[in-house]
Amino acid sequence: MNSMLLLRISSAGSGVRGLLLFVAAFAWVLFSPLLFAHGVEEGDALFIEQVTGAQWLPFIYLGAKHMVTGYDHLLFLAGVIFFLYRMKDVGIYVTLFAVGHSVTLLYGVLSETHVNAYIVDAIIGFSVVYKAMDNLGAFRRWFGFQPNTKAAVLVFGFFHGFGLATKLQDFTLSDDGLVANILAFNVGVEIGQLMALGVILIAMNFWRRTDVFPRQAFAANVLLMSAGFMLMGYQLTGLYTVS
């Protein structure tokens, strides 16, 4: 009897820690200085402006760093894998996302296709809202239909890729080695995505084993949705302020 009680208390405590991880992530997004400077750090920016020729390793590092610190991308990925329990499903959805953002990242920079960064980042914020609503079953409950989740991840991947492209387009990139450097940056993004995804999956699997996960999942997705709305609001405010 006592062992069962201790097990439940331990499970509840683990569940609370899992929820607190989401709360901490939400608070970090809310108060992070990165929210107000979502781009490339000053030292990295200086390197990008001055570099010439193919620089594979530095650009792989920059791509990985940008993804690991890219809170908007990570929030969306967390929402995508929230209720995915099989590694096969995780692989399918993450691959769709990777294909989407790789295509538009490479196309946007190499073709010099310019898009409004505020609008793109607002759509990226909406992608977080969408995924949280999807996890909560809001579409079926409110509208009576379920959007194709795989298609949605691919489409939002396109916008996330344009978001990455707009960050690089802020700089004057040398034509010497441009293709190699952008490919290296994209490889780095994929490496950073896998690293971050690994950490998220470990935390999620630990949390899912607790008895309180089903109850806390609702609160976590509400927080996820709130973060998405906040990101949208900030970007739309910037759009109308700058305009």
131-141 confidence digits (pLDDT tens): 999 999 999 89
Percent with pLDDT over 70 in the chain:
82
Please indicate whether residue 49 or residue 91 has the higher confidence score (pLDDT).
91
What is the average pLDDT score of the chain? 83
Q: What is the mean pLDDT of residues 216-221?
A: 93
Distance, CA of 74 to CA of 114 (rounded, Å): 24
Q: How many CB atoms lie within 10 A of CB 102?
A: 20
Cβ contact 107:51 at 8 Å: no
The pLDDT of residue 142 is above 60: yes
- pLDDT score at 9: 40
Q: Which of 10-19, 115-124, 154-163 has the lowest mean pLDDT?
A: 10-19
How many CA atoms within 13 Å lie on the side-chain side of 166? 18
For residue 46, the model assigns a pLDDT of 73
- Alpha-carbon distance of 134 to 129, in angstroms, equals 9
C-alpha distances in angstroms, 108 versus 54, 88, 116, 142, 146?
Answer: 19, 30, 12, 36, 31
User: Among 4-8, 57-61, 96-100, whose mean pLDDT is lowest?
Assistant: 4-8
Residue 115 is predicted with a pLDDT of: 87
The verdict on pTM exceeding 0.85 is no
Comparing 169 with 15, which gets the higher pLDDT? 169
pLDDT of residue 42: 65
Q: Average the pLDDT over 207-225 and give the result.
A: 91
Task: Check residue 96 and give its pLDDT.
Answer: 95
Distances (CA, A) of 209 to 17, 38, 220: 12, 35, 16
